[in-house]
Chain A
Amino acid sequence: MFLKNYILTVYRSVKSLLTGMKITGYYFFHPKKIVTQEYPDNRATLQMFDRFKGEVTMPHNQNNEHRCTGCQACEIACPNGTIKIITKQEILPDGKKKKRLDTFVYHHDMCTLCNMCIIACPSDAIVMAQTFEHSVYDKKLLKKVLNAEGSKLMEGVE
């Protein structure tokens, strides 16, 4: 009885191990079924999803114009003070004074990519970019100014 049980246990054990090995063997002979991607070798073909949150950016059109009015809604919406909006007074052609964006400072190192600023912006001035290789040697490089040099507010955005 003891011997029979012993042999049965050994038989079951070996069988269960072989069952597991069968799967490994199956994939060894079916390399097409393997889904591993070899980053960074696949950089050329690697495509991120269009909603992927990589970093906050401000799109400009060909005339170097953006849509940011400097209303600071994004600065208030940000949970950890990543965005600093610096505004300036501008005198319009009709003589009226108007608040305009001077510098949009974005601390990428602090950003949690939570999307709150994007949904808070009333004029869709900022979007998430799909970039993801952000490592740099100097932390200072992660402090970015999003509005381009000499850019101004797009016509018709209030």
Chain B
Amino acid sequence: MRGLIEEDYTTQEGEFVINIGPQHPSTHGVLHLKVWLNGETIIKVQPHLGYIHRSIEKMSESLSYRNFIFATSRMDYLAAHINNEACALAVEKGLQIEAPPRARVVRTILAELTRLSSHQLWWASTGLDLGAVTPFFYAFREREAILDIMDETCGARLTQNFLVPGGLMADIHPNFQKRTKEVLKQIKENFKEYDELLTENVIFQNRTKNVGILNKQDALSFGVTGPTARASGLSCDIRKWAPYSAYSMVEFDEILDEGCDSYSRYMVRMKEMRQSVNIIEQLIDNIPEGDFQEKTKNVIKLPKGDFYQRVETPRGELGVYIVSDGASSPYRIKYRSPNFSNLSVLPELAKGCKIGDLVAIMSTIDLVIPDIDR
């Protein structure tokens, strides 16, 4: 592979190659970008992957249908709950059962809290990447409050593993509703601070506007999903197109933007945070009473066949594909991770940009590298 890449492009007079990474570039994970430069202008970018490959797909083949879920928390660790949800839903599809209404609503609330906390970390690290250190701490203030909710109900801050096929592992904590409402109130008040600190900042605007133009056609052909694609006017929100859990019960807007540049990708996420707050507010007072778990057999066996479930993570569409041969562990599992497809468009976006813009593009695509390597 490496030989192939080198032959692919020979450097001309006055051009040179630099490596960005593979050290841990702030919060994104271990990514190695090989960049061909002419002065400050980027000619070509080549991502090198595999530094944190843990073989989660292969590992899952030897685990039972209950147990393989925990490993997916380590894929996109900023959206662990949503990864777990995708797996639980896929197994439920195979078993032809549905989680009880209470579990579905709680799953949705937790998923939206996850989305909020993930977008907050993205907001923090975008500021950091572009040289604004202060926003980081403001975002972490709210993120910390959300992680406290997770900690109290699920027992862990990041790798929750709160879901089992058929529902939740335990009922919600008695404090859950109260604490969530408090946090929502705090977050809504502080959105104004976010805008004043970063959105309206002139340096930030100059560094992101008209940088990294991704047109709709490219977004479509590279399989880009999530806020990155929606900022190019491509409607692809799975929560709208194929509602799962409790998304059919709530009203919310799919945020679309026609700007196509880094700044519109930024704005889409900022507006999505407000939508997440909106969704949680609709659900938090209406958690139905009843069971939190559908009874399943001790040893779960899926019928022969294949099952596919997709969900919307903060970064795009995550697909879980299970092939079953009727045994108690999957024959094959394949994850369609949003970050892999989103990364594939990075070389296209960076071509012709300046080296400083590469950072802006990378951070507004919002990559989480462990999800790419798996």
Asked if A pairs with B, the answer is yes
What count of chain B residues pass the 8 Å CB interface test? 31
In the complex, what residues of B have CB within 8 A of residue A48's CB? 151
Q: Is the CB of B156 within 8 A of A53?
A: yes
Interface class of chain B by DSSP: helix
In the complex, what residues of B have CB within 8 A of residue A16's CB? 200-202
B292 interface residue (CB < 8 Å to A)? no
Q: Is the CB of B202 within 8 A of A12?
A: yes
| In the complex with contacts A51-B155, A51-B173, A52-B155, A19-B66 CB distance below 8 A | no
B254 interface residue (CB < 8 Å to A)? no
Alpha-carbon distance A19/B197, docked complex (angstroms): 7
Interface of chain A residues 106 through 132 with chain B (CB within 8 A): 112-116, 119, 128
B286 interface residue (CB < 8 Å to A)? no
A99 interface residue (CB < 8 Å to B)? no
B309 interface residue (CB < 8 Å to A)? no
Q: What's the nearest-Cβ distance from chain A to residue B301, in Å?
A: 15
Q: Is the CB of B201 within 8 A of A20?
A: yes
Q: Mark B141-153, 1 if CB is under 8 A from A, else 0.
A: 1001000100111
| In the complex with contacts A16-B202, A112-B70, A119-B169, A51-B152 CB distance below 8 A | yes
Q: Mark B322-354, 1 if CB is under 8 A from A, else 0.
A: 000000000000000000000000000000000
Q: Mark A4-22, 1 if CB is under 8 A from B, else 0.
A: 0000000011001101101
Q: Is the CB of B200 within 8 A of A51?
A: no
In the complex, what residues of B have CB within 8 A of residue A22's CB? 196
In the complex, what residues of B have CB within 8 A of residue A119's CB? 164, 169-170
Alpha-carbon distance A24/B198, docked complex (angstroms): 13
What are 26 contact pairs spanning A and B, CB under 8 A? A12-B202, A17-B202, A19-B200, A23-B138, A35-B144, A48-B151, A49-B148, A49-B152, A49-B155, A51-B151, A51-B152, A51-B154, A53-B155, A77-B66, A112-B70, A112-B159, A113-B155, A113-B156, A113-B159, A114-B159, A114-B161, A115-B155, A115-B161, A116-B66, A116-B70, A119-B170
Which residues of A are at the interface with B, using a C-beta cutoff of 8 A?
12-13, 16-17, 19-20, 22-24, 35, 48-53, 77, 79, 112-116, 119, 128
